[in-house]
Amino acid sequence: MTDKSVRDRSRLRLVFWLAAALASPIVATPAGAASPVVVHVDQARIIKLPERAVTVVIGNPLIADLTLQHNGLAIITGKGYGATNVVVLDKDGSVLAEHNIEVQGPADPTVVVYRGVDRETYSCTPDCSPRITLGDLPDYFNKTMTETTARNSQAIAAGGSQPH
């Protein structure tokens, strides 16, 4: 084999591997794939759905919830960390749209205190107060939840006794 044919084969291999490397991201990403709808846990986001939307299916309702509104609007609420999807159907069951939903951690300023593997989260807006956050120490989470539930019950009772 001549030096020229060895060089030509080397160049051909290089061109082949370069083409494969450049083509792989194109193959891995579906054409027209939209970026995910990002929602923060315990927050809501409004999105526009196709006009004929009648039914929505959430892949994992522990991660996100969706409520259909009038005029093709939908409210997505972040329930837990992670990713899921929503499929939008018309009255005949035809798929009108599909969206990926990504639920991220809290957007508000927080301070996380670690004691070994135990974790407590505080919302600091501007003063730090206990915050109910998935993944916190169960005792801390339950105590904060009990206090929040009691406070909300008292607020409802006080509001219900006043004339409207």
Q: Is the pLDDT of residue 14 over 50?
A: no
Only one residue has tokens 């009990």, namely 146
The architecture CATH gives domain 37-104: Sandwich (2.60)
Q: Write the pLDDT tens digit of every residue in 18-74.
A: 444 444 443 333 444 579 999 999 899 999 999 889 999 999 999 999 998 888 899
Given a contact cutoff of 8 angstroms between Cβ atoms, the answer to whether 99 and 37 are in contact is yes
Question: Domain map of the chain by residue range?
Answer: 1-33, 37-104, 110-160
Given a contact cutoff of 8 angstroms between Cβ atoms, the answer to whether 128 and 122 are in contact is yes
Q: Is the pLDDT of residue 15 over 60?
A: no
Only one residue has tokens 């986001």, namely 45
Question: What local confidence, expressed as pLDDT, does residue 13 receive?
Answer: 55
Report the 10 Å Cβ neighbour count for 119. 15
Q: Is the pLDDT of residue 5 over 70?
A: no
Lowest mean pLDDT among 2-11, 79-88, 106-115: 2-11
Structure tokens at 112: 């996380």
